[in-house]
Amino acid sequence: MSDTAATLRRQMFGSAGLLALFAIVGGVLVAGTEALTRERIIEQQRASLRSTLTEVLPAERYTNALLDDTIRIRDPDLLGTDEPLTAYRARRGAEPVAVLFPVVAPDGYSGDIRLLVGIDTHGTLTGVRVLNHRETPGLGDAIETRRSDWIRQFAGLSLGEPPPRQWKVRKDGGQFDQFAGATITPRAVIKAVRQALVFFDTHRDTLLAPPVDTP
């Protein structure tokens, strides 16, 4: 082999090696960034969950770590979804105070509306908030607290207050206001909240049971 051919070969291998090195370094950087982003997203989701939990039940009403005292619940009929959901138990010392859990209103104008409900040991709602929805801005989105106070009216209500026939929008003979030009969204939310109360009533003992000690 001539000197020129050998030099050319060395240069080719050198370039290929450099390319491979860049590919490896690039790959490691992308993977690292992805892992960091994923962690940040999880932390943001936890922070957002914590703040919604606080809106449904003020932090001064309980002393335990809500996010660590959970049970899994599943009831497609009453919770509006096939998937298992997480319920958060609030306690003062050993005494149960309330349980907070998500429910799905599957019959919103644009599909699922995810709600978080809080229910105290007496079966009274401590609050309800929307976790996410795809309802129409200016119509169905009045279920959000930044758009209206409508969702706040559930705090203090229970299965018997108002009586069952009143758990409807006014247009259907109930006590809850519908929105101007939007009845489907509030109907869906009212139904889901009432079903959450029925779920609590059915599973009260399990929901309020002491946490299982993990060794």
Ligand X SMILES: Cc1cc2nc3c(=O)[nH]c(=O)nc-3n(C[C@H](O)[C@H](O)[C@H](O)COP(=O)(O)O)c2cc1C
Nearer to ligand X, 93 or 181 (CB): 181
Give the residues across from 98 on adjacent strands: 90, 120
Q: Could you check whether the bond before residue 215 is cis, i.e. omega within 30 degrees of 0?
A: no
User: Tokens 């003062």 appear where?
Assistant: 92
CA distance 80 to 102: 10
Nearer to ligand X, 165 or 171 (CB): 171
- Site membership for ligand X, residue 140 (CB under 6 A): yes
CA distance 94 to 5: 82
Identified binder of ligand X from the candidate list 123, 131, 139, 177, rule CB under 6 A: 139
- Are 173 and 190 contacting, i.e. CB atoms less than 8 angstroms apart? no
Pick out residues in 150-209 that bind ligand X (CB under 6 A).
171, 181-185
Task: Enter the DSSP assignment of 169.
Answer: B
- Site membership for ligand X, residue 109 (CB under 6 A): yes
Identified binder of ligand X from the candidate list 121, 136, 166, 175, rule CB under 6 A: 136
Identified binder of ligand X from the candidate list 69, 96, 135, 143, rule CB under 6 A: 135
Nearer to ligand X, 125 or 182 (CB): 182
The site for ligand X (CB under 6 A) is made up of 109, 135-136, 139-140, 171, 181-185
